[in-house]
């Protein structure tokens, strides 16, 4: 275990391999890219030279010469949210199946970092790009698309000039609200609505539809929040705790699990019983929200499926650019009932 490294000699090139194997440069290239064009004996000899030299082809040169890459970039708004990680998993699985690689850039909720990675993949001439975008901006994606980059937007905003894959947020909101209604709640509150964020608007709309189906037996109000993290939930929780029980909502649809966590935390601390007095349903089935002492009912998003679908769309577009028509795929979420919305007539724990 000596400290001395091998001298940093430049890595061997194809020319080195060719010399060593006593063949022409093009033959080495063929051994790598079209082995069937090379006689078995030659192939073996070249392969030996490759192994002996530890030759690793230079991808930059390959991309430059061939003008194509096998790398797909995935720009992800927030890897800590397991919904997005599921997408990445799905994308990688599908890409691998089709002989491509996925590299992940984590925007970490920052618009500048999203821009940085979009730009990076653009400069690298990635075959194509998947983006789970920051909610507050389309422009970077639009700009890259205008420059001819192939981009599929996952969980983004519709109406863009390209393929996209989304979850059915209207249905998710509907499922959550209907579940609360079915478990006996009559005064619903949707927390986390925000005009201008289509996903949240859709969820609120779905909740409204479920309420409308009751023909007035159930009422719904909306509460905006600036963001959808736990701290914003706590703020809402504090408000609710001051309301008299008779006027307080008895069913809450939160726009995210973390929001739900915050609300529940404060309610419980204030002596309001969840789910007996107030039922709460979150959104995302975020693993980071499983923190809560009380398991949170939630609407699980089809993350893995979305990643797979997006990758398929992208590869389809890359492989037949002329016949390709942009598509907009919508996948369905799934209600996951847990403790936080258990029926009021049941005694939890």
Partner DNA sequence: TTGAAAGCGCTAACAA
Partner DNA sequence: TTGTTAGCGCTTTCAA
Q: Which residues bind a copy of itself (CB under 8 A)?
A: 1-3, 5-6, 8-9, 11, 54, 56-64, 69, 71, 79-80, 82, 85, 88-89, 92, 96, 101, 103-106, 108, 113, 116-117, 119-120, 122-125, 145-148, 159, 161, 287-295, 321, 325-326
Q: At a CB cut-off of 8 Å and minimum separation 6, what does 97 contact? A: none
Q: How far is the CB of 53 from DNA (least distance, A)?
A: 11
48 near DNA, rule: CB under 7 A? no
Which residue has tokens 């409204």?
208
Residue located via tokens 């970039």: 73
Say what angle helices 14-21 and 25-33 make with each other, to 10 degrees.
110
With CB under 5 to 8 Å by kind, the binding choice for 259 among a copy of itself, DNA, none is: none
Q: Is 8 in the site for DNA (CB under 7 A)?
A: no
Number of residues that bind DNA (CB under 7 A): 31
DSSP 50-115: HHHHT----HHHHHHHH----EEEEEES-TTSHHHHHHHHHHHHHHHHTT-EEEEEE-TT-HHHHH
Residue 61 within binding range of DNA, rule CB under 7 A: yes
CB of 125 to DNA, least distance (A): 8
Binder among 44, 65, 212, 243 for DNA (CB under 7 A)? 65
Number of helices (H), then strands (E), in the chain: 12, 12
Q: List CB contacts of 274: < 8 A, sequence separation 6 or more.
A: 264, 267, 268, 280, 294, 340
Of 19, 57, 197, 209, which lies in the binding site for DNA, with binding defined by CB under 7 A?
Answer: 57
How far apart are the C-alpha atoms of 143 and 336, rounded to whole Å?
Answer: 38
Element (H, E) at 264: helix 257-269
Nearer to a copy of itself, 106 or 170 (CB): 106
Stretch that binds DNA, among 22-30, 129-137, 242-250, 282-290 (CB under 7 A): 22-30
User: Residue 14 or 274: which CB sits closer to DNA?
Assistant: 14
Q: Is 33 or 226 the residue whose CB approaches a copy of itself more closely?
A: 33
From the CB of 43, what's the least distance to DNA, in Å? Answer: 7
Instruction: By CB under 7 A, tell whether 32 contacts DNA.
Output: yes
Q: Which does 39 bind (CB under 5 to 8 A by kind): DNA, a copy of itself, none?
A: DNA
Q: Which residues pair with 254 in a beta bridge?
A: 191
Identify the burial level of 314 via C-beta atoms within 10 angstroms of its C-beta, where 0-12 means exposed, 13-18 middle and 19 or more buried: buried
Indicate whether 286 belongs to the interface with DNA (CB under 7 A): no
Q: How far is the CB of 290 from a copy of itself (least distance, A)?
A: 4
Footprint of DNA on residues 215-244 (CB under 7 A)? Answer: none
Q: How far is the CB of 159 from DNA (least distance, A)?
A: 32
**Cα separation, 334 vs 172, whole angstroms:** 7
**One residue of 3, 7, 9, 66 binding DNA per CB under 7 A:** 66
User: Kind and range of the H or E element at 224?
Assistant: strand 219-224
35 binding partner (options DNA, a copy of itself, none; Cβ < 5 to 8 Å by kind): none
SS3 category, 141: helix
44 binds DNA (CB under 7 A): no
Whether 278 and 250 have beta carbons less than 8 Å apart is answered as yes
Residue 290 contact partner, candidates a copy of itself, DNA, none, CB within 5 to 8 A by sort of partner: a copy of itself
Q: How far apart are CA 51 and CA 45, in angstroms?
A: 10
Q: Token pair of 198, please?
A: 């289509």
Least distance from a copy of itself to the Cβ atom of residue 204, Å: 25
Contacts with DNA, residue ranges (CB under 7 A) = 10-11, 13-15, 22-27, 29-30, 32-33, 37-39, 41-43, 55, 57-58, 61-62, 64-68
């Amino acid at each position: 275990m000596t400290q001395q490294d091998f001298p940093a000699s430049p890595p061997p090139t194809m020319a080195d391999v060719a010399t060593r194997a006593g063949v022409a440069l093009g033959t080495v290239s063929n051994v790598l890219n079209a082995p069937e064009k090379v006689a078995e004996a030659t192939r073996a000899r070249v392969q030996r030279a490759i192994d002996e030299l530890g030759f690793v082809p230079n991808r930059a040169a390959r991309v430059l010469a061939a003008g194509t890459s096998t790398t797909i970039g995935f720009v992800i708004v927030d890897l800590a949210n397991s919904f997005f990680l599921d997408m990445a998993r799905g994308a990688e699985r599908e890409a691998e199946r089709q002989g491509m690689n996925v590299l992940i850039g984590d925007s970490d909720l920052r618009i500048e970092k999203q821009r940085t990675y979009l730009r990076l993949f653009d400069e690298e001439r990635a075959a194509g790009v998947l983006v789970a975008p920051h909610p507050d901006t389309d422009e970077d994606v639009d700009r890259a698309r205008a420059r001819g980059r192939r981009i599929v937007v996952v969980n983004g905003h519709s109406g863009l000039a390209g393929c996209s894959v989304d979850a059915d947020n209207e249905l998710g909101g509907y499922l959550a609200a209907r579940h609360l209604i079915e478990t006996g709640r009559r005064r619903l509150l949707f927390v986390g609505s925000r005009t201008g964020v289509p996903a949240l608007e859709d969820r609120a709309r779905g909740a409204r539809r479920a309420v409308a189906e009751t023909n007035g037996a159930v009422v719904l109000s909306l509460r905006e929040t600036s963001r959808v993290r736990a701290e914003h939930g706590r703020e809402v929780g504090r408000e609710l705790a001051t309301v008299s029980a008779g006027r307080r909502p008895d069913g809450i649809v939160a726009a995210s699990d973390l929001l739900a966590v915050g609300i529940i935390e404060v309610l419980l601390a204030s002596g309001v019983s969840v789910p007996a007095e107030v039922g709460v349903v979150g959104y995302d089935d975020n693993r980071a929200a499983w923190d809560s002492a009380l398991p949170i009912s939630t609407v699980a998003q089809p993350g893995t499926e979305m990643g797979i679908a997006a990758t398929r769309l992208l590869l389809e577009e890359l492989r037949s650019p002329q016949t390709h028509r942009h598509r907009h795929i919508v996948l369905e979420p799934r209600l996951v009932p847990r403790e936080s919305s258990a029926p009021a007539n049941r005694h939890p724990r």
